[in-house]
Amino acid sequence: MPAVDQLHLLHQEMGLLEIKHELLQLAETLDFLHNNAHLAHRAISPEVITIPLLITVFITSSGSWKLGGFGFALSIDQATGGLTSSKQFHYSDYDVEDTALPLQSSLNYTAPELVQSGDSKVGSACDMFSFGCLAYHLIARRPLLDCHSNVKMYMNALTYLTSEAFSNIPSDLVSYLQRTISMDAVSRPSAMAFTGSSFFWDDTKLRALRFLDHLLERDNMQKTEFFKSLSDMWKDFDSRVLRYKVLPPLCAELRNMVMQPMILPMVLTIAESQDKGDFELSTLPALVPVFTSASGKTLLLLVKHADLIINKLVKQAVLPHVHGLALKTTVAAVRVNALRCFGDLVPSLDKEGILGILETVRCCTAVDHSAPTLMCTLGVANAMYYTG
């Protein structure tokens, strides 16, 4: 399982686009949980539940949200059939420390039917209340309810909720969110109905991210049209979205040689903002097979971006590939760019590396006497001279 952190989403610098995307993902998870697994989670919360060992929402190392902490999950069929035990949540009528309470969900995200005494017939609607509170907190940047585990404060805040509380919520989501956090469980929408808001589907960038989510399911014609649009759009994404939502599916698609010329410029440009460690962990593994099999336009793109790749990689890992490009290609532009790359590499190489470059340059000039090749050879010599 990928490395996880508690949903300190609340502490992450996430933009609205990323929040929208992950809320859609979480809604799909709830839809499966309710309609396929027939379970109610009953403890969805972005906060530690009494003790840090029980966490209900995870962020993976790849930036995805995952739902866990099923300690309070209940069969919906069992609940609707009235076969549940009596009330399992115990909150105080006054402020108390969380450590003084039994293990249970945060009151700030718990549905009223779970809080009010005697009502054990709860189903999927209680999860939708929690989901609505979570969505509100992430979008408004503050909790809807902040009750300090005090039931009286909780009920007062919920009963006297005003429209002003939604002033920081986009207008096209307000009615959906108000229904989701209704005290009447029957009035709450399903997970998929909640995501029907134009808040989600009128967002072109969000639709692009959703296409990337299912990229491997598309044919090459669909991908080609999409990448044409994406090439004009992706620069408007923030750095977190590029790193966690755009780059991974693009790297996976590099295995598709037909798409490589369209994808590679975006991958390499996004990689410019990655630090060396992140690049070697997430992007380099996808590029290595491209290095070894590149030809035509893909090969030329790699050579043109050689400076970037050199700056990101250990020089010894790149140098053999540049030698291969210079010696094996029949395309003059590729050979010229490979020779230029040698000139950039010279200052960082030891004596052995420089001698290797001299041998490759000798082989190139033996078969290619064109002006561009000779000029680049002089450039390599000049770099060696100034390197000493």
204-387: which CATH topology?
Answer: Leucine-rich Repeat Variant (1.25.10)
Which SS3 state, helix, strand or coil, does residue 291 take? helix
The residue with tokens 């033996």 is 366
| 82 vs 274, higher pLDDT | 274
CA–CA distance, 11 with 205 (Å, rounded to integer): 24
> Which DSSP string corresponds to 73-140?
-EEHHHHHTT---S-----BSS---GGGSPS---GGGS-HHHHSTT-----THHHHHHHHHHHHHHHH
pTM of the predicted model, to two decimals?
A: 0.73
> Token digits for 249?
């599916």
Confidence of residue 11 (pLDDT cuts 50, 70, 90): low
What pLDDT shows up at residue 173?
94
Q: How far apart are CA 152 and CA 185, in angstroms?
A: 20
Ramachandran sector of residue 92 (left: φ over 0; alpha: ψ -120 to 50; beta: rest): beta
Backbone angles phi, psi at 218, to 5 degrees: -90, 155
Q: Which helix (H) or strand (E) holds 60?
A: strand 57-60
Q: Residue 339 is which amino acid?
A: L
Q: How confident is the model at residue 294 (pLDDT cuts 50, 70, 90)?
A: confident
- At a CB cut-off of 8 Å and minimum separation 6, what does 81 contact? none
The DSSP result for 194-235, as a single string, is: HTTSHHHHT-HHHHHHHHHHTGGGS-HHHHHHHHHHHHHHGG
CATH number of this structure's domain 4-201, picked from the four choices 1.20.120.160, 3.40.470.10, 1.10.150.120, 1.10.510.10: 1.10.510.10
- If you average pLDDT over every residue of the chain, what do you get? 82
**pLDDT for 95:** 54
- Would the pLDDT of 67 be above 70? yes
**Could you tell me the residue ranges of all domains in the chain?**
4-201, 204-387
Give the pLDDT of residue 90. 63
